Structures are given as structure tokens and as C-alpha cells.
């Protein structure tokens, strides 16, 4: 707008006179524009304007403090022209303001917090022009204060870009633009009886909404760098930008973040640190079950109370309102799917309805951030998960090796500082050994190692006392950590060594090329699972006659893979289970496997899992359908899964159309020749050389058919006899075994 002549007028309402804006007709200018008002050829004053319908076109209305400062009289003609701020040089970094009670008769001796005052001032006058010597009225805690701007320093341009502050001395300016991260310092007038308390007395380097020196290790968060940067990009990037740019883009801030994942991976910790890292007020932390109340309507009232402060502030300050953070722990306790409650009261449903309307209902709030946490995202109502509510869904999974190094460094940093960690403790080695450990389990491991170390310094006398001389030299060593790793702390989502070691307690007897081929093929499939991005799911069926050692081979392939997650889904764990609970148990094994980067699931004895018997024939169709789905379901992005199934009835699986679910089939044969049987005896080392020669002579050129598992039983039975009869007994047992099944010629 070119300069135009306007007439000075009186501010139409007391409320408008507290805004520090010049008031104009909407036909002349728009709210939020900045103008310069030229009163004499040598005097110019900067103002931000606001429109009001009572102001006549061609008039510009000023409050009494503004007229006093600019030396204006009612009806005076002034020259008004547009003013544009140079954001790189004219944003206010720090502004010093002299403060006193507006009217001497309204003085009181109660202390006023200058920090709260500064926060309120920035919210009320955000995006407004201020000049040195300017006078204005400020309302705080229902009291009116008279202010005079004493000094303005420009904000360092590098801070505006989100970088660390440069070492240059701040530039003094006469006119500046108030922004969300400006600093306001209040100093009371010399003769004032006002009492000020708070830290905002000195100028300090002011940063953006996020602290640039943000350090994960100091904050006690490890292994979540990528998740944190994703949350920042989605939820906070729009809040760092000046409000006017956000408004021009028509951008609405993200209002909800849902953190989900296995227990102990840092969801609650991350939510707590988000609250600390922002220049927002202290977050409200709510445990889901605390909301619920036995009285009708009280649970909904508890939800409304959480949002009341944010609603009140938004009505009062609009776009300049500060950020209110509400953290819901155990969100699934109150936000279950509606219509699924067993009770007829439907309390959960009304609580969910209340929360839905508060986060993104008819009256929208733009100054809230709700963070929900759960390890059961499947239970939460769908309406909460849509964009506009919990739109940022972030899985906080098990930490990778780099993350485990960070977490272990956090939990051992204090010990390292006081020289209580022995030099032989290698954090990188520990991180490599703790595959699939969650953050909480790693913290538990450090605690267990500390307890072991302390236990060494307790005298085992009639009374329990500490050996003070040796306690001075206390150090937590590598042995303490390895001992705790092997005995005390086991990962919830990991390999259960007792589980699969029982299947291979006698080792793998490589009695012929057939066994070597099975192991080699297994190794190839393990490498394929690890290295191929095209096949994140590899399913193999290990089939063969009963007692041929299929389960032992599958367990050995799984153990050799060194995958962080190995589980054996075995029928012996599901004795007496109903069909539904069996399906749920199998599904849980697979769900747990999806949480790890690399997993191996052994589905043992498939026909037993399916309750198959040849008489009838009968099997569980429900379990069959569940297995068919799980065998074909690819793991989530970035995760890899190897499934090894074992069966003695390939023909039955063929009829059930289950073979197609496996990528490939490997045959585990029985011992079929006398030579192979003698080789097996030699590897087992049970008989003497002389006895083996005798057995070899009897079996030369003959065909046998026996599984390695059954052979072990026959050998152990024969060894109970006297030395002279052992061979005879063994051959007799072998003949009987063959005669029963026509396997022996």
C-alpha cells in the first residue's frame, strides 16, 4: 500500500487497548499487517494493526499509552504506510521491559513470577511489532501493568535456521518482530513496589522450540534415534516454524502420537523425554486405568478435565496459545474397540467417545499433543487411529546392535565415571551377545552384574556384613556380566536354549552323505534368509520316516543359524489345549517372531499339531487353516523369518494341500544299508572295534531300515548285557525291529 493519510482516533474498547495494536476498519487494512505511522516529518512509529467493525474507514484508533508514546492527539492526521520486517535481521532475540503497576492504588505485595509473565507476554503479543521506548498495557493475573520497552536485541540468524548460536555479539535494533522463541526480560521500575520472582532476569542464549544440544545419551534414551527423528519430522516440524507461515500454508499440527511395541523398549521413557525436550509446560501424565470411575459420567468428566486448560487458553490467546502435552500410559485400558465390552454398562465406549470428540471433534483444539502408549495396538478403537487423532503411529521395537551399545553406555556411564567398571568390560562385545534384549532387560543385566560384584564383598559369617577393606576396590568385571547373561536375565523375545538343546542332546550323527546334504541345504536356507531381500520369508519342510532325527536336524539348523529369535512350536506344549487356544498359542509364537530382525520358528511334528489320526480320518481344520495362513504371511518390512516344519506324513500334508505353503522340501532318510549302520556305530563309539567288526560281518551286503533315534535305543539296550552277549543281543533286536516291519533282508 502506498502511503495514505488517516485520522487518529480513540480505541473503541478497553479489551482492544490491551492488544497493543492500532485498530482500523477492515476496508482499509487486514488484521496482522504491520504499518508505520508518520506523525511529523522526523517521527515514525511501527504498529501492528487489528480490524474492528466500529472503526470508521480512514480512521486509525490508538490506546492512551500508544497516544502518549507517539505524541498523538484525537483527530490528528497521520501518514500510514505498510511495513515489512526483514526476518533474518529484525526478529527479536531478547527484549528488556520496565514494568510497574498501571495504577498506584492497585499495588499489592504478592510476588509475580517473571517466567510465567514472559511466557504469557509472548503468547499475547506474538508476531507484533515493538519499538524501543514504546509504552503499552499488559494484563496478567487480572492485574494491569504499565510497560516501557527499554532495549531490543536481534535474534541470531543461525538460531532461526535451527543451528547452534554463533559467537557474534547480539545486534541492537530499534524496531523488532516478536516471535515464539524471543526472550522477554522484565525489570521493575525504580520506585515500584512490585515484587518479581523467577529466572528471567538475565539474558541467556535463546533457542528454538527444540534444544539444539539435544543429546540422547544425556536424556537416557538409547537406540531410538531413527524413531525420534521420524516423530520430530511429523509432529514438531510444523511447530518450529513461525505461526504466520504455518497459517499461510493452512497447516494443522499433528495432535496425536501412538507409541507401540514390546514391553520394556522405551515407550514411556520416550514420551517423558518429548515433554522435557519441548519449551512447553510440564506434560500431564495419565495412566489409563486412573481415568475410570465407578460413578456414571465421572470417567468422561476426568477426560474433559485433562483438556480444560488447553481449551481455556485457546479461547483466550488463539494461535499464540502454548503447547499442552497429555501422555496416556496403557492407552488400551480405556480405548478398547467400542461394542466389544462384556459388561452392559458400556463405560469404555463413552470414554472413547469423549476422547474422540476432545482430540478432534467439532470444536477443534490446535494447541494439544496427545501421546498414547500401548503394547496392544490391536485392541484400540479404529476411530482413534485416523489422521487428525493418533495419526503418527510409531513402533518402538527391540534395539539393534548400535542401539544396545548406546543403552549399555547410558546404564554404565556412572560406574565408568567413578572407576567402578573394570577395564576388561567391552560394551561392544556385550551388545553383540545380547541379541533381542529390550532396553529394560539390558538395564536389568547391568543391575544383575552389579549385584554379583557386590555379593563378592559380603562376608559370610554369622551376621551379614560388608568387607570394607575389599569394598573400597569394588569393580564390576566382564565375568560378572557374562555370568548374569547366562544365568540371570533372559530376553522375553529370544532363544530358549533349554528348549532346543534337549532335542540335540546326543549331537548330530553324520552316518552318511544324506545327513550332510540335509545340513548343507539347511545352511543354504539360513544364508538365503539372512542375505536375500527378495525372500524375507523362507519356509522349508523337513520330511522323513519316524525316528529319522528330523526334529534334531531342524533344531541344529536353527541353533547354527545364530538368529536372535529361535522358537520351537511343539505339540508337547499344547497338550489338552482346545482348538482355539492352540491356534492362539501358535499365532503368539509367530507374532513374537515378527518383533525380531531375524527369526527362526521350528514347527515340529505338524500332523500331531493338527490332531491327525489315520482312523476316521480326523484332524483339526481350524489349526490347519491357521497354519496355512501363518506359513504364507510375510513378516513386516525389514524383518526376516525362516520357518522349518517337520513331518512323518508327507502324503497326509499333500492331501491337505499344505505342501504348497512351503518353499521347498528336504528329505531326512533312515539308515538303509549295513555299511551306513556300521559307520553310525563307529561315530557313536559304543561297541569296541572287535564287536563292530563282528556286527559288520553279519550285516555285509544286507539292507536295513532303521531310524537313528531307534538305533540309539537298541544300542543302549544291548549295552546293558554282559560283554559276551552284547553283539548277539544287538543283532537280535535289530532283526526283530526289521521283522516287524519287513525292513530287514
Kindly list the catalytic residues: 550-551, 604-605, 632, 709
The CA-CA-CA angle for residues 52, 56, 57, to 5°, reads 100
Which residues, at least 6 apart from 615, have a Cβ–Cβ distance to it below 8 Å? none
Strands (E) located in 41-166: 43-51, 59-62, 77-82, 92-101, 111-113, 129-131, 135-140, 143-154
C-alpha cell at 493: 523375545
CA dist 255 and 385 (Å) reads 12
Buried b (16+ CB within 10 A) or exposed e, 23-44: bbbeebbeeebbbbbebeeeeb
DSSP summary character for residue 300: H
Q: Are 12 and 52 in contact (CB under 8 A)?
A: yes
DSSP summary character for residue 724: G
| Residue whose cell numbers read 522340501 | 665
Which residues, at least 6 apart from 177, have a Cβ–Cβ distance to it below 8 Å? 34, 85, 87, 90, 91, 92, 127, 128, 129, 130
Query: Residue 665 forms beta bridges with which residues?
Result: 541
CA dist 518 and 6 (Å) reads 94
Query: Residue 539 forms beta bridges with which residues?
Result: 643
Query: Residue 371 forms beta bridges with which residues?
Result: 257, 327
Q: Are 512 and 679 in contact (CB under 8 A)?
A: yes
CA dist 395 and 386 (Å) reads 16
| 3-class SS letters over 510-549 | CCCHHHHHHHHHHHHHHHHHHHCCCCCEEEEEEECCCCCC
Query: Residue 703 forms beta bridges with which residues?
Result: 673
Helix residue spans in 110-156 (DSSP H): 114-124
Per DSSP, the three-state class of 292 is coil
CA dist 375 and 264 (Å) reads 10
| Residue whose cell numbers read 543359524 | 561
In angstroms, the Cα distances linking 275 to 210, 268, 269, 327, 489 are 11, 11, 10, 9, 31
| 3-class SS letters over 204-273 | CCCCCCECCCCCHHHHCCCCCHHHHHHHHHHHHHHHHCCHHHHHHHCCCCCCEEEEECCCCCCHHHHHHH
Determine the longest span between alpha carbons in the chain, in angstroms: 132
Tally of CB atoms within 10 A around 677: 22
Tally of CB atoms within 10 A around 161: 9
DSSP summary character for residue 234: I
CA dist 713 and 730 (Å) reads 10
Tally of CB atoms within 10 A around 305: 11
The pair phi, psi for residue 565, each rounded to 5°, is -120, 115
Which residues, at least 6 apart from 582, have a Cβ–Cβ distance to it below 8 Å? 574, 609, 620, 623
Per DSSP, the three-state class of 700 is coil
CA dist 351 and 348 (Å) reads 5
DSSP summary character for residue 264: T
Amino acid at each position: 500500500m502506498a502511503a495514505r493519510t488517516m485520522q487518529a482516533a480513540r480505541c473503541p474498547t478497553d479489551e482492544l487497548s490491551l492488544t497493543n495494536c492500532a485498530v482500523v476498519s477492515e476496508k482499509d487494512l487486514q488484521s496482522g499487517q504491520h504499518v508505520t505511522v508518520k506523525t511529523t516529518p522526523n517521527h515514525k512509529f511501527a504498529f501492528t494493526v487489528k480490524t474492528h467493525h466500529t472503526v470508521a474507514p480512514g480512521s486509525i484508533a490508538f490506546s492512551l499509552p500508544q497516544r502518549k508514546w507517539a505524541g498523538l492527539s484525537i483527530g490528528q492526521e497521520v501518514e500510514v504506510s505498510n511495513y515489512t520486517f526483514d526476518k533474518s535481521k529484525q526478529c527479536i532475540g531478547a527484549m528488556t521491559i520496565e514494568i510497574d503497576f498501571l495504577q498506584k492504588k492497585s499495588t499489592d505485595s504478592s510476588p509475580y513470577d517473571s517466567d510465567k509473565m514472559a511466557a504469557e507476554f509472548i503468547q499475547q503479543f506474538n508476531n507484533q511489532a515493538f519499538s524501543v521506548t514504546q509504552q503499552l498495557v499488559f494484563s496478567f493475573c487480572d492485574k494491569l501493568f504499565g510497560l516501557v520497552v527499554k532495549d531490543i536485541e536481534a535474534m541470531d540468524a543461525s538460531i532461526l535456521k535451527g543451528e547452534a548460536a554463533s559467537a557474534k555479539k547480539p545486534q541492537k535494533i530499534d524496531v523488532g518482530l516478536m516471535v515464539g522463541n524471543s526472550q522477554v526480560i522484565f525489570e521493575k521500575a525504580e520506585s515500584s513496589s512490585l515484587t518479581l520472582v523467577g529466572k528471567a532476569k538475565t539474558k541467556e542464549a535463546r533457542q528454538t522450540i527444540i534444544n539444539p544440544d539435544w543429546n540422547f545419551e544425556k536424556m537416557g534414551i538409547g537406540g531410538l534415534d531413527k524413531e525420534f527423528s521420524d516423530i520430530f519430522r511429523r509432529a514438531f516440524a510444523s511447530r518450529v516454524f513461525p505461526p504466520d507461515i504455518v497459517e499461510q500454508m493452512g497447516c494443522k499440527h499433528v495432535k496425536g502420537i501412538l507409541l507401540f511395541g514390546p514391553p520394556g523398549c522405551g515407550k514411556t521413557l520416550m514420551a517423558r523425554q518429548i515433554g522435557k525436550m519441548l519449551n512447553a509446560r510440564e506434560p500431564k501424565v495419565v495412566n489409563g486405568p486412573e481415568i475410570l470411575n465407578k460413578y456414571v459420567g465421572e470417567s468422561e468428566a476426568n477426560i474433559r478435565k485433562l483438556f480444560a486448560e488447553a481449551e481455556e487458553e485457546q479461547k483466550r490467546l488463539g494461535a499464540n496459545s502454548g503447547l499442552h502435552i497429555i501422555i496416556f500410559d496403557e492407552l488400551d485400558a480405556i480405548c478398547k474397540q467400542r461394542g466389544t465390552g462384556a459388561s452392559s454398562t458400556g463405560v469404555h465406549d463413552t470414554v472413547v467417545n469423549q476422547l474422540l470428540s476432545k482430540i478432534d471433534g467439532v470444536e477443534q483444539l490446535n494447541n494439544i499433543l496427545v501421546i498414547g502408549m500401548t503394547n496392544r495396538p490391536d485392541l484400540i478403537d479404529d476411530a482413534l487411529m485416523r489422521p487428525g487423532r493418533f495419526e503418527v503411529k510409531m513402533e518402538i521395537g527391540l534395539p539393534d546392535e548400535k542401539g544396545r551399545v548406546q543403552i549399555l553406555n547410558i546404564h554404565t556411564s556412572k560406574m565408568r565415571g567413578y572407576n567402578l567398571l573394570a577395564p576388561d568390560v567391552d560394551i561392544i562385545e556385550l551388545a553383540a551377545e545380547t541379541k533381542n534384549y529390550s532396553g529394560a532387560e539390558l538395564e536389568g543385566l547391568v543391575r544383575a552384574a552389579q549385584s554379583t560384584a557386590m555379593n563378592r564383598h559380603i562376608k559370610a559369617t554369622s551376621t551379614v556384613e560388608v568387607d570394607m577393606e575389599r569394598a573400597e576396590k569394588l569393580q564390576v568385571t566382564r565375568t560378572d556380566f557374562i555370568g548374569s547373561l547366562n544365568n540371570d536375565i533372559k530376553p522375553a523375545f529370544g532363544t530358549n536354549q533349554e528348549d532346543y538343546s534337549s532335542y540335540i542332546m546326543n549331537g548330530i550323527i553324520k552316518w552318511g552323505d544324506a545327513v550332510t546334504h540335509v545340513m548343507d541345504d539347511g545352511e543354504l536356507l539360513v544364508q538365503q534368509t539372512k542375505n536375500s531381500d527378495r525372500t524375507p520369508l523362507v519356509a522349508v519342510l523337513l520330511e522323513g520316516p519316524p525316528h529319522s532325527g528330523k526334529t534334531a536336524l531342524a533344531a541344529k539348523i536353527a541353533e547354527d543359524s545364530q538368529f536372535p529369535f529361535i522358537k520351537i512350536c511343539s505339540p508337547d506344549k499344547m497338550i489338552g489345549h482346545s482348538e482355539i487356544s492352540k491356534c492362539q498359542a501358535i499365532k503368539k509364537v509367530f507374532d513374537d517372531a515378527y518383533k525380531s530382525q531375524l527369526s527362526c520358528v521350528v514347527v515340529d511334528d505338524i500332523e500331531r499339531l493338527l490332531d491327525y489320526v489315520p482312523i476316521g480320518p480326523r484332524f483339526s481344520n481350524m489349526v490347519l487353516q491357521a497354519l496355512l495362513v501363518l506359513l504364507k504371511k510375510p513378516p513386516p518390512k525389514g524383518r526376516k523369518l525362516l520357518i522349518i516344519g517337520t513331518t512323518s506324513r508327507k502324503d497326509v500334508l499333500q492331501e491337505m494341500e499344505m505342501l504348497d505353503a512351503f518353499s521347498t522340501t528336504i528329505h531326512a532318510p533312515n539308515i538303509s544299508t549295513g555299511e551306513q549302520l556300521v559307520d553310525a556305530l563307529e561315530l557313536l563309539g559304543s561297541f569296541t572295534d572287535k564287536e563292530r567288526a563282528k556286527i559288520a560281518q553279519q550285516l555285509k551286503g544286507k539292507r536295513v531300515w532303521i531310524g537313528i533315534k531307534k538305533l540309539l535305543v537298541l544300542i543302549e539296550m544291548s549295552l546293558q548285557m554282559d560283554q559276551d552277549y552284547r553283539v548277539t543281543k544287538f543283532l537280535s533286536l535289530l532283526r526283530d525291529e526289521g521283522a516287524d516291519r519287513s525292513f530287514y533282508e
